[in-house]
Homo-oligomer: A and B are copies of this chain.
Amino acid sequence: MSITINQPLDMHLHLRDKAMLKTVGPLSSASFSGAIIMPNLVPPVSTKEELIAYKSRIIEACGEDTFTPYMTLFFKPSYTKEFLKSVKDELTAIKLYPAGITTNSEGGVSGFDVNELRPTLDAMSELEIPLCIHGETNGFVMDREAEFVSIYEMLASNFPKLKIIMEHITTRESVEALDKFDNLYATITLHHLLITLDDVAGGMLQPHLFCKPIAKRPEDREALRRVALEGHPKVMFGSDSAPHPQHTKESCGCAAGVFTAPIALQVLAELFEGHSTIENLQAFVSNNAKAIYNHIKVPHKTVTLEKKPFIVPAKYGDVVPMYASETLAYSIVNIQG
């Protein structure tokens, strides 16, 4: 039996820059039609010029014909309506980080003052630019996302015409928020569908599974699986694939991020097939995203997988992927497009 996915999309991806971009970019463009590209470079992508230049570097690394990088800016409350109008055609969304909450997010938002945010968010609503949010407070690590849900709800109710994407959700609380507001959506990563804190710190400590938000409890994973596997229309696949050089992961003070781009479709096929929900995979990895981000153009591409062992490389360049050196049940056997 083979599984064919049309126009797979990764709605949350870190491609980095320079040599790392050249290593990881082609691994995403090989099997995805497009991806929402995170702007947290150093310095973050926050001007039109930076955005256009970064997009051209991505296209140079990934090729142009069958993969579209959907660009984002790093949210600043100082963005004016005029600025947003001028850059609208170049971007797909804007990404908001609370200050200091994850890799290269030092310049993010501190405090969520509706009056301060209103001019920018009203303009984004009017211009139909979605707002992607890394939703964590600076509270206790297991509570940060659940504590942020009230901020999601405050923003959703104050800006009812703004599409708000709760990025890489990891908790039951975020799943429950999805159905409370028409304008709340979510991405879910591969790794949060698979692991809990037990996999990170229950046996030996596993730095390659350490990420932000940290993997949570079994009941949280169950809630995520439920909406992903049913193809819930407000939920999209977003890998949050986040490469770090090996020495920054296996060290004293390990960087947060799991690298999954080259194995994502294979593992998703196994997960959905294993739960007898393979018919919903197309919605999760493509159709829902196309409906939510209804302005994007998606290059033609079909990816065919079969149940056939795939040995994950120990490294891609200097990056250790999830399931390094392990054998996956599904392989990509053909890509058209």
Contacts and interface: CB of A to CB of B under 8 A. Distances in A.
Nearest to A206: B253
A69 B201 CA distance: 31
B254 A205 contact: yes
Contact of A201 (B208, B210, B249): B210
Given A140-B217, A142-B217, A217-B140, A252 B198 contact: no
- Chain copies in complex: 2
Given A207-B207, A252-B206, A198 B320 contact: no
A179 interface: no
Contacts of A214: 201
Contacts of A202: 140-141
A65 interface: no
A204 interface: yes
A196 interface: yes
A59 interface: no
A202 to B, nearest CB: 4
Interface in A194-246: 196-198, 200-202, 204-208, 210, 214, 217-218
Contacts of A204: 253-256
Interface in A224-283: 249-256
Nearest to A138: B202
Interface residues of A, number: 27
What DSSP secondary structure best describes chain A's contact surface? loop
A254 to B, nearest CB: 4
A207 B141 contact: no
A214 B208 CA distance: 18
Nearest to A199: B141
A205 B210 CA distance: 7
Nearest to A196: B140
A105 to B, nearest CB: 12
Contacts of A320: 252
Contacts of A254: 204-207
A172 to B, nearest CB: 14
A252 to B, nearest CB: 5
20 contacts: A140-B196, A140-B218, A141-B197, A141-B198, A142-B142, A142-B197, A142-B217, A201-B201, A201-B214, A204-B253, A205-B207, A205-B210, A205-B254, A205-B256, A206-B253, A207-B252, A208-B252, A250-B250, A250-B252, A252-B320
Top 5 closest pairs, chain A to chain B, by CB: A205-B254, A141-B202, A204-B253, A205-B210, A141-B198
Given A207-B254, A252-B320, 18 more contacts: A140-B196, A140-B197, A140-B202, A141-B197, A141-B198, A141-B202, A142-B142, A142-B197, A142-B217, A200-B201, A204-B254, A205-B253, A205-B254, A205-B255, A207-B207, A249-B252, A250-B250, A250-B252
